[in-house]
Amino acid sequence: MPDNHAPTRSASLNDWARLIARPTISPGGGSAAAATGVLAAAVVEMVAALTAGRETYAPVHDEARAARARAEGLRQELLTLASADAEALLRFEEALALPRGETTERELRERRKRDALREAAEIQRDVLAGCAEVAALGSAMVDAGTAVFLAAAAARSAARAVVINLAGESSDSEFAGMVSAAEGRLAEAEDAERAAARLLGERPA
């Protein structure tokens, strides 16, 4: 895979790790958060599939199959978002490289930077929403605790990224409400995390 491009959906886990580890801004923490959500969704899929395959859990087979299908969809969505975040950061990096000698050049550079940051904020908003849903799916399954904790951690990262990327927005900007919305979605993920912790605490040794 060329190192000057964002990882694609078909990139291996090793490719993602290697490219994130480079001393460049893309792919970065946003892609890492999305990739963490991918793994969390995969764990939910696994637990749901095992549940649906055991006669002991026959009363919840339909729910398990539905959870598995939704987790698979979220896994695919989050994988796409991991690549999208890397692409947005590449555009931010390109904006940083623009000349800034003249006033018009500086203005263009600032517009390009702001556009890239807004795009990244929208992507991380979607990462947050996906991770919150993964956490909610996993919180009802005793054996999906790992998924919930991974998803909640990724949600915290995504929520913080939204705040950072929109730091320069005015209060009347169309993006101003995104921060408060992100706080609400993060609260959902953390509620699921607490529910999973309680469920694990109640599980017989």
User: In this structure, is residue 173 part of a structural domain?
Assistant: yes
Residue 60 burial by CB count (10 A; 0-12/13-18/19+): exposed, middle or buried?
middle
Structural domain for 158, as ranges: 22-202
Number of compact structural domains in the chain? 1
User: In this structure, is residue 3 part of a structural domain?
Assistant: no
The residue-averaged pLDDT of 152-181 equals 91
- Which long-range contacts link 13-20 to residues 24+ away (Cβ below 8 Å)? 16/82, 19/86
Q: Percent of the chain scored above 90 by pLDDT?
A: 82
Q: What is the pLDDT of residue 144?
A: 93
User: In this structure, is residue 146 part of a structural domain?
Assistant: yes
User: In this structure, is residue 10 part of a structural domain?
Assistant: no
User: In this structure, is residue 111 part of a structural domain?
Assistant: yes
Predicted confidence (pLDDT) per residue in 37-84, tens digit: 999 999 999 999 999 999 998 998 999 999 999 999 999 999 999 999
Nearest to 40 by CA among 140, 203, 153, 184: 153
User: In this structure, is residue 5 part of a structural domain?
Assistant: no
Return the CATH number at 180: 1.20.120.680
Model-level pTM? 0.92
User: In this structure, is residue 49 part of a structural domain?
Assistant: yes
Q: What is the pLDDT of residue 203?
A: 62
User: In this structure, is residue 1 part of a structural domain?
Assistant: no
